[in-house]
Structure 1
Amino acid sequence: MSKSQYVFTDSQYVKELERLQAIEQVFDLASRKRIQATGITVDWRCLEVGAGAGSVAQWMAAVVGENGKVVAVDLDTRFVANIQLPNVEVLEADIRHLSLENRSFDLVHARYVLIHIPDFQVALARMLDLLKPGGWIVIEEPDFSAARAITGEERACDSVNRVNRAILQMFADRNMDYALGVKLPATFQTLGLRQLSVENDVPLSNGGSGIATVMKMSTVQLAEKYIATGEATQDDIEQYCLFSEDRNAWAIYYATVGVTAQTAAS
Structure 2
Amino acid sequence: MLKTDYVFHATEEARELERLQMLERIFDPGTQRRMLATGLTTGWHCLEVGAGAGSIVRWLEQRVGPSGKVVAVDTNPRFLRGSGSSTIEILQGDICDMELPPAAFDLVHARYVMIHIADYQTAFERMLRCVKPGGWVVIEEPDFQAARAVAGPDEARAAFGRVSEAIERMFRSLGMDHALGAKLPVLFRRHHLDQVTVEHEGHLSAGGDLIPQMMKLSAEQLQAKYVATGLVTESDMEQYGRLADDPDFWAIYYATVAVTGWWQPQCGGRTQG
Query: Normalising to structure 2: TM-score of the pair?
Result: 0.94
Q: In the alignment, is the contact (CA less than 8 A) between 1:71 and 1:90 conserved in 2?
A: yes
Cα distance change, pair 84–258 in 1 and its aligned pair in 2 (3 A): same
> Which amino acid in structure 2 is aligned with residue 151 of structure 1?
A
Deviation digits for residues 102-142 of structure 1 (CA, Å, limit 9, x no counterpart): 66000000000000111101110000000111110000000
In structure 2, C-alpha distance between the alignment counterparts of 1:153 and 1:244, rounded to whole Å:
14
Cα distance change, pair 133–160 in 1 and its aligned pair in 2 (3 A): same
Cα distance change, pair 2–54 in 1 and its aligned pair in 2 (3 A): farther
> Which amino acid in structure 1 is aligned with residue 203 of structure 2?
P
In structure 2, C-alpha distance between the alignment counterparts of 1:58 and 1:83, rounded to whole Å:
9
Q: Percent identity?
A: 50
In structure 2, C-alpha distance between the alignment counterparts of 1:240 and 1:83, rounded to whole Å:
37
RMSD: 1.4
SS at match of 1:67: coil
* Superposition deviation, residue 2 in structure 1: 9.1
In structure 2, C-alpha distance between the alignment counterparts of 1:246 and 1:107, rounded to whole Å:
40
Q: In the alignment, is the contact (CA less than 8 A) between 2:103 and 2:129 conserved in 1?
A: no
Is 1:203 matched with 2:230? no
Deviation digits for residues 149-168 of structure 1 (CA, Å, limit 9, x no counterpart): 11123222111110000000
* Superposition deviation, residue 85 in structure 1: 2.0
Query: Which residue matches 2:11?
Result: 11
In structure 2, C-alpha distance between the alignment counterparts of 1:153 and 1:34, rounded to whole Å:
38
Is 1:248 matched with 2:248? yes
Structure 1 segments unaligned to the other structure (5+ residues): none
> Which amino acid in structure 2 is aligned with residue 133 of structure 1?
P
Q: In the alignment, is the contact (CA less than 8 A) between 1:157 and 1:243 conserved in 2?
A: no
Q: In the alignment, is the contact (CA less than 8 A) between 1:206 and 1:246 conserved in 2?
A: yes
Q: In the alignment, is the contact (CA less than 8 A) between 1:207 and 1:248 conserved in 2?
A: yes
SS at match of 1:107: strand
| 1:153-192 equivalence runs, <5 A | 153-192=153-192
Deviation digits for residues 189-247 of structure 1 (CA, Å, limit 9, x no counterpart): 11111111000000110001111111001000000000000111100000000001101
In structure 2, C-alpha distance between the alignment counterparts of 1:4 and 1:93, rounded to whole Å:
14
Aligned length: 266
Query: Normalising to structure 1: TM-score of the pair?
Result: 0.97
Query: Which residue matches 1:68?
Result: 68
